Structure formats: C-alpha cells, structure tokens
Amino acid sequence: MSAGGIPDKVLRNGDLIIKLEEIAKDTALLNGVLMRTKDTPNSPEVVNYAPFTLFPSPVPRALFQQALAVQTHFNRLVDRISQNPSFLEEALASTIKVDDFTARLFKIYRQVLQEPQSQSIVLGLNRSDYMLDQSEDGNVSLKQIEINTIAASFGGLSSRTPDVHRHILRVANRMDELKQILDNNPAAGLAKGLAKAWELYGSEKAVVMFLVEDIQRNIYDHRFVENELWKRNIPVIRRQFDEVYKTGSLDENKRLFVDGQEVAIVYFRNGYMPNNYSSEQSWEARLMIERSLAVKCPNISTHLAGTKKIQQELARPGVLERFFPDEPETVAQIRDTFAGLYTLDLGDDGDRAVALALANPDLYVLKPQREGGGNNIYGAEIRQVLEGMKDSSERTAYILMDKIKPRPVHNYLLREGTPLRLSTCLSELGVFGAYVRKGTDMVLNECVGHLLRTKSSEHADGGVAAGVAVLDNPLLV
C-alpha cells in the first residue's frame, strides 16, 4: 500500500492474510459491524458482517483535519440555504421542470411555506463526502463529492470499526500504526443532536420516530443511534410511510400522532429516492409530517438544500458570499473543497458544459438529482446520454462535475461470498455534522465523526448499501 499505509510486504504475506481474514470477520461480528442478509433482510435470525477492508487505508492527516474543520461551516451553510426561499426557488427552477421527484418535493415545500410556521426548532444531521484529488504535479487536495442532508448512513457502524482494525493491526504485529487510527463515535454525536431537539420540543412522553424503509438490511446502523437515545431515556419507534399514513394524524395544534403516540422528531432514514414513495399514500404521509409540529430531520427545505443542483449553484462566483457576507475566511475554507461544477441549464453556460463533456467525457461525471449511490454516469456513457438530450431541457435534470483522480492504494475487501484478493482501491471520506437551531439561535453545531468507504477501482460508482464500497478506517499518515 503506497502513500504511508501498510507496507507491501505485509499485504503480500499470504500466510498472514489467510490468518487475518478469519480473525477480522470474527472481530467484526464481535463488535457489531453487522448487516442482515440479502435473502432475509427483515429477519434478525440471520446476520453477517457488514463488508469492510482488512486493513485501514491511508489518508493524509492534514486533509483529514481540513475536512473535519470545515464541517461546522457546511452545517451553517445548509441551514442558511434552507431558510432562503428565493434562492431555492431560483436555483431549482429549471430542475423541477424536468425532474419529477424534485418537483414533488418542491410542491410540498411550497405548500408548507404558505402555512404559518409552527415549529421553530430545526435539526440537521448531514454528511459531507470527499475524495482526495491528485493533480498532475502530484499534489493531493480535498474535494467535495456531495453533501447528504437526508438519511446520511453508517454513523452507527463506523462507530465500531476502529476497534476492528486496531485488533487486526495488533495480530499483524503492526503496533506502531495503532495510534494512527482515531476514536470515532458518530452514533453518539448524531444522537446528541436528536436528543437536544427532543429536549427543546419539551414533552417527555413524545417519541423520536425513525422513518424507515421496508427493506431493513442496514438496521444495525440505525440501532446504534437508537440505543444512544434509549440510554438517555428518550423513547424511539420505527415506522414506514404506509404506517404513518394509516395511523398518523394532526391535532388542532398540528402535533403529530402515530399509533396514538405524540411524535417529537421524525428522523428520516427513508424518503431520499423516488422508489421510497411506493404510492400516493407515501407522498401524503410526507406532506402530513412536513405540516406537523414535529421536528423534521431533515425538514423539506433542508432536504432540497442537499440536491446536486444546489451544490452546483454554490460553486458559482459570488454565491457563497450571499450566505456569509462578512466571513471571507469561511467562504475561502468552503470554496477550497469544491471541485469544478457546471450547469447544464439551457443557454450559453450549459452549452459550453455540454461541449466540454462531449469532447472529453473521461474528465467529467454526470450527476442526476439522486441520493443513495449508483446513479452517476461516467466515461463513454456520458457522451451517449448527452447526445440524446443535448438540445433538450431534459439535460437540466443533471449537473456536470470534474472527475476526481484519487491516488489508488492496495487493500483486501472482505465481502461475503467473494474470494479474498489484493485489490487496487479508491476511498471516499465522509464527515458527519449535527446542528440544532431554535428560532435564530444555533444551540448546537458540531462535527460529530467520520466515515471512510473504500471500493475497487474497477467500480466507478456506488456505496456500501449499494453493494460496491465497503467500510474502512482512515490510517492517518
């Protein structure tokens, strides 16, 4: 492994690797790094280890610290965007004409905006994702891929992976590297945000409702956060959209009740993709939640603030300054993480971006307004997709982004049913943020942990839940 990671002689020591493989899998199970199986995703009877790397992967310490340091600024930026209807309207105007999913969300946003705002508490739990871009001269810089403002996952499981990799390093007699793995507990930090918002809501009997998908493979990631709340004597329930539709109601004060229980917070671990809304009832449940007094994590405007189109608009000259008019240092720190982002709106700017992508598709990524991994378009497929819509408003459903060129490293990816082999890998660093605002007062704004995901370089796109990336830890170098 290059760039200061595990030495090549260790990675290629076949006897050691065979020994470590079994120990690593058992250690992951012992530490609760778990997922349910594909065959029985809703059964607690059959579980397996969540896929992970055999060794931690090297990350430059200075860039890691940069990502952590800028997170509270991104928290404030997302919050300020969510409070700016004219910016959201202007930025998403072209997108909602061609992207049905974003248009449905925006319709709810407009409806809620017209009603009296009964809840002054805002809770944001987000994750900003980065890759390390290596330039022609060999310099490496931190570049943001996206910011997830809804259902940002793996805060739970990534709280358990440091101990797994520390144990592997001990068994491999790599004692010097132990100190290069930091403690990490996003589960506690995310729960701290939820607990603060619940406390401000002010009803001890009210519950935190995790809004969940019907497929529950990643339930243990939720459970670590959930259990942190139970430790604080905060009651938690888990419900799906159809259950909210059937048993949910608002009283005269717009308090949300589900199954007769008052809901203080709706924590969305669902609702980020079109197929999460299986029927009109799902959309009606979303609207009822948004109209309610319950604290939404995220509320609809914060959900919209995380769209790719907003990310691209923020990269335009002068836009960040609108949100931080008196903070040039904050603007500089945020902008320093931006990759090149280009509009595909109809007009001269969009035409130029289309021409760039058609001429050199391998230099760019075509990104739709979707979360969840596995949606981006690369290489020759960019040319194919853009040729079919280059003169159509359809193209405005996408943005264009410079393709990051990370430095590959070598590692083993442990995944059920996959033979162990040394792979050339690329990593993505996620940083978790939590904030709570009441009225105009930001009562909590913290960076609460990190996540490293690693995949084989043969895969262009996709995360852990999508079955491509695996969990990892930064080995700070």
Q: Which residues have a catalytic role annotated? A: 127, 146, 148, 153, 308, 367, 371-372, 453
- To the question of whether residue 401 is assigned a binding role by annotation, the answer is yes
Burial classification of residue 52, based on how many CB atoms lie within 10 Å of its CB (0-12 exposed, 13-18 middle, 19 or more buried): buried
∠ CA 467-468-471, nearest 5°, is 90
- To the question of whether residue 269 is assigned a binding role by annotation, the answer is yes
Burial classification of residue 50, based on how many CB atoms lie within 10 Å of its CB (0-12 exposed, 13-18 middle, 19 or more buried): buried
- To the question of whether residue 48 is assigned a binding role by annotation, the answer is no
Report yes or no: 425 and 409 within 8 Å, Cβ to Cβ. yes
- To the question of whether residue 371 is assigned a binding role by annotation, the answer is yes
- To the question of whether residue 245 is assigned a binding role by annotation, the answer is no
- To the question of whether residue 260 is assigned a binding role by annotation, the answer is no
Write out the E strands in 149-291. Answer: 207-211, 236-239, 248-250, 256-258, 261-268
- To the question of whether residue 84 is assigned a binding role by annotation, the answer is no
- To the question of whether residue 367 is assigned a binding role by annotation, the answer is yes
- To the question of whether residue 368 is assigned a binding role by annotation, the answer is yes
Write out the E strands in 243-360. Answer: 248-250, 256-258, 261-268, 295-297, 341-342
- To the question of whether residue 270 is assigned a binding role by annotation, the answer is yes
Question: What is the Cα–Cα distance from 392 to 400, expressed in whole angstroms?
Answer: 16
**DSSP code for 281:** H
- To the question of whether residue 151 is assigned a binding role by annotation, the answer is yes
Report yes or no: 153 and 470 within 8 Å, Cβ to Cβ. no
Q: How far is CA 116 from CA 262, 271, 307, in A?
A: 20, 24, 25
- To the question of whether residue 375 is assigned a binding role by annotation, the answer is yes
Q: Which residues have C-beta within 8 Å of that of residue 435, sequence separation ≥ 6?
A: 72, 75, 76, 79, 122, 123, 124, 193, 442, 444, 445, 446
- To the question of whether residue 373 is assigned a binding role by annotation, the answer is yes
- To the question of whether residue 150 is assigned a binding role by annotation, the answer is yes
Annotated binding residues for ATP: 146, 308, 367-376, 378, 401-404, 428, 455, 461
Please enumerate, by residue number, every residue annotated as part of a binding site for Mg(2+).
Answer: 146, 148, 371
- Residue ranges for the binding site for substrate? 127, 150-153, 216-218, 269-272, 453, 464-465
Please enumerate, by residue number, every residue annotated as part of a binding site: 127, 146, 148, 150-153, 216-218, 269-272, 308, 367-376, 378, 401-404, 428, 453, 455, 461, 464-465
